[in-house]
């Protein structure tokens, strides 16, 4: 996963292990589930320059979760949809480009 993200210029800023967190906080068994905070620093810089409040939507979250029998599902947020709520025309093309990069990551797994 990390290599696929790196191919498209993303780095992983955060990694949240939901399985471990739920066990620790709620003593609840949970299937393997990771949330990766992926960031393309070039695009993050551009979008932050255009809209300083966009930081609440960063980084782009990618999840890896077990769906049964050692099978895993990988999915990613849609940055174009998430950032559309901001209503800033300057970030629309950037968000669309990041969306395409994340789709490339998912298609190359």
For residue 59, say if its preceding peptide bond is cis, omega within 30 degrees of 0: yes
Specify the CATH superfamily of domain 2-107.
TT1751-like domain (3.30.310.70)
Tokens 């298609």 correspond to: 107
Q: DSSP string of 13-68?
A: EEEEEHHHHHHHHH------EEEEEEE-HHHHHHHHHH-GGGGGG-SEEEEEEEEE
- Write phi, then psi, for 86 (nearest 5 degrees): -75, -25
pLDDT by 10s per residue, the chain, length 109: 999 999 999 999 999 999 999 999 999 999 999 999 999 999 999 999 999 999 999 999 999 999 999 999 999 999 999 999 898 999 999 999 999 999 999 999 9
DSSP letter, residue 69: T
* C-alpha span between 11 and 60 (Å, rounded): 10
Judge whether 76 and 61 are in contact, CB under 8 Å. yes
Reduced to 3 states, what is the DSSP secondary structure of residue 89? Answer: coil
Q: Is the pTM of this model over 0.75?
A: yes
């Amino acid at each position: 996963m990390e290599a696929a993200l790196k191919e498209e210029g993303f780095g992983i800023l955060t990694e949240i292990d939901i399985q471990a967190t739920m066990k620790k906080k709620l003593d609840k068994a949970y299937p393997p589930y990771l949330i990766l905070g992926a960031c393309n620093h070039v695009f993050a810089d551009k979008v932050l320059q255009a809209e300083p409040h966009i930081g609440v939507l960063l980084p782009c979250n990618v999840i890896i979760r077990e769906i049964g029998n050692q099978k895993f599902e990988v999915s990613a947020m849609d940055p174009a949809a998430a950032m559309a709520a901001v209503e800033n025309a300057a970030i629309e093309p950037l968000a669309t480009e990041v969306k395409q990069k994340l789709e490339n990551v998912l298609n190359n797994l």
